[in-house]
Amino acid sequence: MPKLIVVTREGATRTIEGETGLSVMEVIREAGIDELLALCGGCCSCATCHVHVDSDYADKLPPMSDDENELLSISDDRDSESRLSCQIPFTNALDGMTVTIAKED
């Protein structure tokens, strides 16, 4: 199984294995990392699964949709590496990717 490296808001780093076909959000939640709220359950209707993605993996991610871009636009912690983890399918190509959970808005 591919691995995902997650940096929590407190700066702790956890390496977790994830099932391909799930979203990055689902992989994080299934690992018991509860600070990623994901209130909408992955429907791209909130921004509570906001993460910062390692820029080395940017070209391996699907393009950002208009809905995702709009939701991220209201975050004070948005930067060029911001994505909604519910919108990133976890694949073998993302093995070793680091995501940092964004600050709470």
Which CATH superfamily groups domain 3-101? Beta-grasp domain (3.10.20.30)
Q: Using one digit for the tens of pLDDT, what is the confidence trace for 13-65? A: 999 999 999 999 999 999 999 999 999 999 999 999 999 999 999 999 999 99
**88, 68 Cβ separation under 8 angstroms:** no
CA-to-CA distance for 78 and 95, rounded, in angstroms?
24
Q: What pLDDT, on a 0 to 100 scale, did the predictor assign at position 65?
A: 97
Predicted pLDDT at 77 = 96
Domains of the chain, residue spans: 3-101
Question: How large is the average pLDDT for residues 95-102?
Answer: 98
